[in-house]
Copies of this chain bind each other. A is one copy, B any other.
């Protein structure tokens, strides 16, 4: 199995309004360094897993919707606890949509799996990874 992994980053504010989160219940924030890995069983005709330029473009557009935002004010996250784990899945879903729509290039139909990692800081990070349904 091959993979290619690329990196981008965002800075956001949010709160985690559940007693479970102790001191993190109030409004605070995070810099998230975001790694997205794309997996394929075999390489494309150009010996790559994915068009890195397209991957970075899709990732950049996905993160731009969140960058410098207070996530508590975004309608799409209403009523959600926007944990790092949850945000990994959010980025994964946007990447999987892009693979399905062709925004990652025609060859993205052959992607086997995507993994998204959000680093909160030097001591903690979360991931979500899942296989992709193959397009016919």
Show the binding face of A for B, using Cβ within 8 Å. Answer: 1-7, 9, 11-14, 18, 20-24, 26-33, 43, 46-49, 51-53, 67-70, 73, 80-86, 88-89, 120-130
> Chain A interface secondary structure, helix, strand, loop or mixed?
mixed
Chain B proximity of A97: nearest CB distance (Å): 19
Residues of B within 8 A of A6 (CB): 123-124
Q: Would you call B23 and A83 a contact (CB within 8 A)? A: no
Chain B proximity of A117: nearest CB distance (Å): 9
- For the complex formed by this chain, how many copies does it contain in all? 6
Candidates B2, B9, B20, B86; contact of A122 at CB < 8 Å: B9
Q: List 26 A-B contacts (CB under 8 A).
A: A1-B129, A2-B88, A2-B126, A2-B128, A3-B126, A4-B85, A6-B123, A7-B123, A11-B24, A11-B121, A12-B29, A13-B13, A13-B14, A13-B27, A13-B29, A18-B46, A24-B68, A27-B73, A28-B68, A28-B70, A29-B31, A30-B31, A31-B31, A32-B121, A43-B83, A47-B82
